[in-house]
Amino acid sequence: MPFILLGIVLFAGMALARWAQGRHASMMAKGSRANAPTAHNGAEIALLFLQSEGVEDVQVVEHNALVTDYFDPVRRRLFLHSSIAQGTTLSAWAVALHEAGHALQTGDSLGELKWRQSCIRMSRYLPTVAVLLITGLTLFRVLVPRMAILITAGVLLILLLLNLGSVPTELNANKRLRRFLEDHLQNHGQAHSRLNELLFCMAIREVGDLFSSPRYFFLSALPGTGKSRPG
């Protein structure tokens, strides 16, 4: 019975993760075909938002790698892919603004942001590590197949719950954009509404990272692959 219950909960969680991944991909694709309502690219609108909040210590850096479009709270740098930094679409705005919103998460919120980033890294890399390790132990008959499946399912479920449990930190970053967007887009109601939808998709962007774990592991975690932390 515990095995069946674990399977049901894991299936439900994986279905939610897959939905979040698909929702983000489809909405961002639509947003990439819609022009931004004012003449600012992603980097410019992010800096404009930060300036409006009195934040002057954040540097925007173009970083074209597998792992990009994120805020580094230690070095106070906003790493954006060139297509986002120079983009003038609603999707480029959504990515840049959402990540800029994290720059306002200081104090207690900073600890939550760092925990959220840790959960994301675990979701990206640990599933592949766990599967490789458990598969090896099974091949060498250290684990029986049934136990291997149970352990794998347990690891995946824990990582999924940690990921989902820290999503409020992403929603909090969006909340910090509210006043700026209301002022900046007061004459662009439709664009404001669509941007809010895209910002929500940004908040759930990493929920499906578990499915992309092999890609992250083999393309950015192994020695000689692309660096996720630029210099």
What are 100-116's pLDDT values in tens digits? 999 999 999 999 999 99
Which pLDDT score is estimated for 231? 55
| Structure confidence at residue 7 (pLDDT) | 85
Does 5 or 168 have the greater pLDDT score?
Answer: 168
**Taking Cα atoms as reference points, which of 45, 142, 48 lies closest to residue 84?**
45
Say if residue 225's pLDDT is above 80: no
Residue 6: is its pLDDT beyond 90? no
pLDDT in tens, 79-102: 999 999 999 999 999 999 999 999
Mean pLDDT across the chain, nearest whole number? 94
When pLDDT is averaged across residues 149-170 and rounded to a whole number, the result is: 96
pTM equals: 0.94
Specify the 3-state DSSP secondary structure of 86.
coil
Mean pLDDT of 208-229: 81
Question: What DSSP assignment string belongs to 172-207?
Answer: HHHHTTHHHHHHHTTT-HHHHHHHHHHHHHHHTGGG
| Tokens 């352990």 sit on residue | 151
| Residue 187 near residue 158 (C-beta atoms within 8 A) | no
106: Cα within 13 Å, side-chain hemisphere: 8
* Radius of gyration of the chain from its Cα atoms, rounded to whole angstroms: 19
DSSP letter (8 states) at residue 221: I
Cα 155 to chain centroid, rounded: 20
Rounded CA separation 77/61 (Å) = 7
